[in-house]
Structure 1
Amino acid sequence: MTHQLVPFSQFVLKVHSRCDLACDHCYVYEHADTSWRGRPRAITGVVLDRVAERIAEHATEHRLPAVHVVLHGGEPLLAGPRVLRRAAERLRAALPAGCALDLRIHTNGVRLDRAFCELFDELDIKVGISLDGDAAANDRHRRFADGRSSHAQVLAAVELLRRPEFRHLYAGLLCTIDVENDPVAVYEALRALEPPRIDFLLPHATWDQPPKRPAELGEHPYAKWLLTIHRRWEQQGRPVPVRTFDSVYRTLRGRASLTEALGLDPADLVVIETDGTFEQADSLKTAYDGAPATGFDVFANSLDEVARHPGMMARQSGLAGLTATCRACPVVRSCGGGLYAHRWRTGAGFDNPSVFCGDLMRLITTIRDRIAPARPAACAVPDPVSPDPGAPAAGPGPEQLAQLARGHGDAATVAALAAGQLDLTRRLLAAVGPAVGESWQALAELDATAPAAVDAVLAHPYVRGWAVGRLRAEAGEPQAEPDTLAEIAAAALIRARLAAELPVPVRGGAIQLPTLGRVLVGGSGQAVVRSGADGFTVRTAGGVERVIGFDQPADRSWLPVRRLGLLGGWSVALEDTDPQRDRHRWPAEARLTEAELGDWTGALREAWELLLRELPQYAAGIGAGLTTLTPLRPGPPGRELGGADRQAFGAVAIARPRTAPALARLLVHGFQLVKLGGVLDFHDLYDRADRRGYRAPWQEEPRPLADLFQEAYAELAVTEFWGSRARAYHGVGGEAAEHARAQFGRRRGETEQALDALLGSGSLTALGERFAVGLRESLEPCLAMPLGAPAVPADRSVGDAAAAPADRAVPADHHAPADSPAPADHSAPAGR
């Protein structure tokens, strides 16, 4: 069979062959290959010129739209500014018109200073830094030859890149895994530096020189190390792209990997040494002396000749190039046999599974089982409310459902709910998107190249509501929904920081970018959004252009979504820009002033700290799943308003109450409705054919069984809230103590009555009965708790003169038939 030549688009250019650190895990100096000893320290101008010519020749021959060059070493900064300038200028000047240059430098950072950053700013060179975590983790390997720590100097380099003037140069952090380092400490140390991307690398090893596997860490320590970080990362809402995890997600969906270490995509990378010789991937230096050599150089050989080298072709042969063991493996399309160098064994060559085979298997299968892979963009959705019963299972597993059945749910459980919701949103968009045309095609293409950016926008609570509205409008229901798909695609494009543009509608004198904010441009019609690495521009039909940087503060025309970072890592958006947010029972608040934002921030911090302290069994789930808080306009004096929209998983709407405890109560009540809604999207808890009315303790008129179930679920949390308040006042008199005991006594009695009504309905499914029983078990400690002195009756007759009926809600049925759509809101009623 004739081998199809795969042109190179990625080039690692060695500009210096020595290093100022003595890292003991370095594949260049500490492994089998010794070729570095005979190479010139720095690349010469003659070699640089010839490299530029060869790359340009290759780009012209294969009509490449872009080439990616990484200036590397050794330590590339040792080459000095003159050599780096010449490299950048010659590479850029030589490329043919229409071929872009993505130029980066990868450094250990110890020599990075302002002068280098100013040079890289001028030459448009992005900077990646090697850093293995906190000081203890980094200094385990990355030290100077005399044993001194490099950590402080590397941190100084990163801090320089984080400054606004150089932030656009910051390409990310690369960390080599050592399983004896604390994975969470490593991850959090890296995340705290706000990198655009983190890349975790398995240490280079072969079957001849296997990686260390400390006995006390058990089997598959590298998988366990990564999976510990993965769980934390998912719980935090994927705050930073992680190349390994993103590549697993992509390959599980059948898409291309982002790294040569995973997937079956042909390798398109070549290394050019300081003397101009072509080599295969640097990682091969760990196999045997001379392993990466090709025998070719820039003076005598073209890149097409290099691409036909047997070693290059072996790395480009996909499934056919793997050992029989790998070809039969169920995760081969994600694993890809692992990194080519890690397959080496003397006597068998590279015809082996990876030395990390067991770790890769466990990593991929665990991630696959933790989250439901997003469906391909072409699938259809038969019903906008109830997903296809034959679809693959999504959402929480049995143990997590058991947590939810007791009214609670830890961070991982809520993250599983969120993963199921994201899958459902993708399916809903697939049902409406193809009819939209250009913007759907743009979103589908973007999903193939930057799925994490697309996921970040599709996880916005109000995207699903728009999709459901579109489906109902197409079914002839009187609900007009605008074409928001262009705005969704534009927001994802901006998040991906790709250089491209999309037309977007101008409505009400503004363009809306879900999850990002609102740009006031005036007029109507269309505008063009163009994204880039540093921000984006908006160009109106009249030719007016508005430039917006990622770090730019709000002004009169740019209204960014404002996020609050709270104790314990919870980050929540105060959504006051998206028109789609105005779908609750009460009108949404307008854009918050700075003073109002300050009031919200202070109240929310106090409320959150109260929940962490007094209701940790609910706070964990809120921190993992409540991504958006939509301010509502104030209600009548003395009234508190709050609720959760049926089609907006992850959002709660609240009119800011007078006190932080009241806000805490509204948060926990609203998010209970959100959680149960996530369950009801995939599981029946009651018979939908039951049309009887049930008397709820807090309602005058009989209510559907669905309302009773959802409100009982939320009321358990409110009861536990008041229980914590009553415990704090145990044995104490005074108005506040009396009020807390009165509320607790009443709420626990009402919740008990509601659960008894549920269990006596005869209309619960087996799972629904387990939920009702679980809620009753969680209520038992509240029922057994003495109210304290002075005593307060525990029945409905106890008044609530001091409390507004803020945390009551009118829930909505998740399983209303298609011809009788579910109400849009479960929100607190106007009166009681």
Structure 2
Amino acid sequence: MKLHRLSAADLDLLASGLGGPALVDDLLRGQRSRRLMILKLVVDHGPGLTADHRQALAVLAAADQRDHAAVAGLVDTPMFGSWAGALLRLIAGEPEPSDVARQLDRLVPYAVVAAHRAGISAELVGRIHRGELVLPTLGRLRLDTEQQQGPVKFVSRPPGLWVDGREVPATDSAQSPHWQPLRALRAPGPPAVTVPIDDIDPCRGNYHIDASPRLSSPAFNRWQHEFASTWQIVARHVPRRAEELAVALRTIVPLRKPNLDAARSATSRDAVGAIGLDLPVSAAEFATTLVHEIQHSKLTAAMDIEPLCAMSGEAVHFAPWRSDPRPVAGLLQGVYAFLGVADTWRALYTGSDGFPEAARQFANVRADVRAAVEALVRSDELTPAGRRFVDGLSVAIDDLGTVSVARSLVTAAETRVAAKRVAWRRRRGLADGT
């Protein structure tokens, strides 16, 4: 596993709000190393490892030796990260070996899919839970069996893949009562993009809103239409961000929609590259949401390589987009995400396509990041790398200030932030000041 570093030049690029596809790809390779380190830790020190799990590990190693890129692509999926994170949290709590074994059962489908991707033969025995199992990157299989759990035989024999004698369909368009393929959203470019929309994986529910159950065909088709329309906006108005998104956006997890007039979104610390969201109400909102959440993924991956602040720091600060006080690490995440949002609204505002809400949205988000970065500038919890990063953020935010917006919108945005600050301080029992 590679030791990853971020140079001063890398930090400066990221602090601009962008970074470029090559640097973003490097950040995500760092996540690959992190996930493999977690798996090794669990295998070496966690309880519950069975002979079937060890055989699966041997198949993974053989597949990696035959086709490293194929197996790396499997580890790079955000759901592998979610699974690895769940394993790590589980063994940290002195669990029963049977609980760890149950989580480790996912090794077997991962291994057989790795063998399939690498083009090698393998036979493995795994276990089914609740009458169904997920083959990562492929789909979900419901077995013809009355038992809800028990042993299952997996066979990779190129070019096919079998589970308990049933051949797994080779395309994501094949559906049956027993097979639900992992579907993908697609949009032409440049850059063209294909993003899995995961409504099947058991590790997809790591958000503050419940994950959606399997999307119906009409619902999926609506997602596809809205995504394709949104991608054209991103590619036209913020092409450099489109280049980053084409590298970083690895999965979309549809969430239940609790409010028909608004949309919510989230990222998971373990599933870098995945976005959980319910369908936004407009293409412009969809575009800014994609940018917002991938900014979080970029910064999480960067801070795994180069810490920017004291993660255990106790100081808490005002953030205009939250009612609760934020630690420095959370404030960094918020400023970075909303810097990307402000830049996107700026492009929509200054572009020629006409987005009526863009001027007001740009003024509001710009005022938010200006107010929030003040606390970061004064913080004594930043590392030297974090100090350099925040200095770069300040320059990027100042650059947004050079864009002219109607004075009435600027005043309204500043008044809005000031009112939020006063309300925040009153909730905390504080007087004036910041």
Instruction: Give the TM-score taking structure 2 as reference length.
Output: 0.86
Q: 1:798 to 1:471 in 2, by over 3 A?
A: closer
Correspondences of 1:350-369 after superposition (within 5 Å): none
Q: Does 1:404 find its partner at 2:14?
A: yes
Maintained 8 Å contact 1:518/1:560: yes
In the TM superposition, 1:224-243 aligns within 5 A as none
**Partner-residue secondary structure (3-state), 1:793:** helix
Distance in 2 (alpha carbons) for counterparts of 1:398 and 1:619: 24
Match for residue 558 of structure 1 among 179, 191, 199: 179
Deviation at 1:792, TM superposition (A): 4.9
Classify 1:489/1:782 alpha carbon distance in 2 versus 1 (closer, same or farther; 3 Å).
Answer: same
Q: How does 1:82-231 map to 2 (within 5 A)?
A: none
Superposed CA deviations along residues 557-591 of structure 1, whole A, max 9, x for unmatched, are: 11121123322232211111111111111111111
The answer (yes or no) to whether the contact 1:631–1:655 under 8 Å persists in 2 is yes
Residue in structure 2 matching 1:740, options 358, 364, 381: 358
CA gap 1:715/1:532 in 2 versus in 1, 3 angstroms: same
Name the CA shift for 1:620/1:446 in 2 (closer, same or farther; >3 Å).
Answer: same
Give the Cα–Cα distance (whole angstroms) in 1 for the partners of residues 36 and 3 of structure 2. Answer: 15
Report the equivalent of 2:255: 632
Task: Pick from 514, 518, 521 the counterpart of residue 136 of structure 2.
Answer: 514
1:437 deviates by 2.6
Matched, 1:773 2:384: no
In the alignment, is residue 493 of structure 1 matched against residue 115 of structure 2?
yes
Letter in 2 for 1:786: S
Native 8 Å contact 1:622 1:671 kept in 2: yes
Q: Does the aligned pair in 1 maintain the 2:360–2:409 contact within 8 Å? A: no
Say whether the 8 Å CA contact 1:516–1:561 is kept in structure 2. yes
In structure 1, how many angstroms separate the alpha carbons of the residues matched to 2:5 and 2:79?
19
Choose which of 673, 676, 683 in structure 1 pairs with 2:306.
683
- Output the CA distance in 1 between the equivalents of 2:110 and 2:409: 56
Q: Aligned equivalents of 2:17 and 2:351: distance in 1?
A: 22
Q: Could you tell me which residue of structure 1 aligns to residue 192 of structure 2?
A: 569
- 1:451 is matched with 68
Q: Deviations over 1:699-748 (max 9, x none)?
A: 23321111111000001011112222322489x9xxx63x3322211111
Check conservation: 1:490, 1:504, Cα contact below 8 A.
no
CA contact (8 A) 2:32 2:75 kept: yes
The alpha-carbon distance between structure 1 residues 627 and 396, as it changes in their structure 2 partners (threshold 3 A), is farther
The gaps in structure 2 that reach 5 residues or longer are 418-434
Give 3-state SS (helix, strand or coil) of 2:267's partner. Answer: strand
Say if 1:602 and 1:397 are closer, same or farther in 2 by CA, change over 3 A: farther
Cα distance in 2 for residues equivalent to 1:792 and 1:473:
49
Cα offsets for 1:19-72 (capped at 9, x unmatched): xxxxxxxxxxxxxxxxxxxxxxxxxxxxxxxxxxxxxxxxxxxxxxxxxxxxxx
| Deviation readout 1:665-707 (Å, 9 max, x if unpaired) | 1111000000000001011111234211111122233211111
Change in Cα spacing, 1:640 to 1:688, as seen in structure 2 (3 Å) is same
1:459 Cα deviation (Å)?
A: 0.9
Q: 1:525 aligns with which of 137, 145, 150?
A: 150
Counterpart of 2:404? 786
Q: Does 1:547 align with 2:172?
A: no
Q: Which amino acid aligns with 1:670?
A: E
In 1, the alpha carbon distance for the partners of 2:94 and 2:271 equals 20
Deviation digits for residues 121-155 of structure 1, max 9, x if unmatched? xxxxxxxxxxxxxxxxxxxxxxxxxxxxxxxxxxx
**Separation in 2, partners of 1:439, 1:457:** 14
Name the counterpart of 1:712: 335
Q: Which residue is 2:325 aligned to?
A: 702
| In 1: Cα distance, 2:352 partner to 2:161 partner | 54
Within the candidate set 69, 80, 88, 1:463 is matched to 80
Secondary structure of 1:743's partner? helix
CA distance in 1, matches of 2:385, 2:307: 8
Residue 19 of structure 2 aligns to which amino acid in structure 1?
Answer: G
Matched, 1:537 2:162: yes
In structure 2, give the amino acid aligned to 1:492: A
Looking at structure 2, the residues matched to 478 and 499 of structure 1 have their Cα atoms a distance apart, in angstroms, of 34
1:305-316 to 2 correspondence within 5 Å?
none
Distance 1:478 1:599 in 2: 43
* Structure 1 residue ranges without an equivalent (≥5): 1-374, 376-391, 540-544, 800-832
Query: In structure 1, what is the Cα distance between the partners aligned to 2:366 and 2:284?
Result: 18
Matched, 1:421 2:28: no
Give 1:395 shift. 5.3
Contact preservation (8 Å) 1:395, 1:417:
no
Q: Could you tell me how far 1:756 is from its partner in structure 2?
A: 1.2
Residue in structure 1 matched with residue 431 of structure 2 by the alignment: none
Tell me how far apart the structure 1 counterparts of residues 95 and 297 of structure 2 sit (CA, whole Å). Answer: 26
Q: Is the contact made by 2:15 and 2:396 (CA closer than 8 Å) also made in structure 1?
A: no
* Residue of structure 2 in register with 1:669 after alignment: 292
Verify the 8 A CA contact 1:631 1:653 in the aligned structure 2: yes
Matched, 1:587 2:197: no
Report if the CA contact (8 A) 1:407-1:713 is conserved: yes
**Larger RCO (CA under 8 A, 6+ residues apart):** 2
**1: CA distance between counterparts of 2:60 and 2:367?**
51
Q: Secondary structure at the match of 1:674?
A: helix
Question: 1:478-489, aligned counterparts within 5 Å?
Answer: 482-483=103-104, 484-489=106-111
Contact 1:409–1:617, Cα closer than 8 Å, also in 2:
no
Give the partner amino acid of 2:86: G
The residue type equivalent to 1:749 in the other structure is: A
After superposition, give the CA deviation of every residue in 1:418-459 in whole Å (9 maximum; x if it has no partner): 111112211111112353433223322332233222212111
Are 1:741 and 1:792, in contact at CA under 8 Å, matched by a contact in 2? Answer: no
CA-CA distance at 1:630 after TM superposition = 0.8
CA distance in 1, matches of 2:384, 2:7: 16
In 2, the alpha carbon distance for the partners of 1:748 and 1:478 equals: 47
Task: State the secondary structure of the residue aligned to 1:795.
Answer: helix
Distance between the aligned counterparts of 1:764 and 1:794, measured in 2?
32
Per-residue deviation at 1:398? 4.1
The size of the alignment, in residue pairs, is: 399
Change (3 A) 1:450 1:433: farther
1:438 aligns to 2:59 (yes or no): no
Residue type of the alignment partner of 2:153: V
* Identity score, percent: 29
Distance, in Å, in 1 between the alignment partners of 2:12 and 2:367 is 24
Cα distance, 1:696–1:791 mapped onto 2, change above 3 Å: closer
Deviations 1:278-310 (A, max 9, x none): xxxxxxxxxxxxxxxxxxxxxxxxxxxxxxxxx
Closer/same/farther in 2, CA of residues 601 and 637 from structure 1, 3 Å limit: closer
Whole-Å Cα distance in 2 between the matches of residues 511 and 437 of structure 1?
20
1:758 and 2:376 aligned: yes
Q: Deviations over 1:514-543 (max 9, x none)?
A: 11111111432121111222321111xxxx
CA contact (8 A) 2:186 2:228 kept: no
Q: CA RMSD in A?
A: 2.3
CA contact (8 A) 1:511 1:520 kept: yes
Amino acid at match of 2:139: G
* Partner of residue 642, structure 1: 265
Distance 1:798 1:754 in 2: 13
1:725 corresponding residue in structure 2 = 348
Contact 1:630/1:653 (CA < 8 Å) preserved in 2?
A: yes
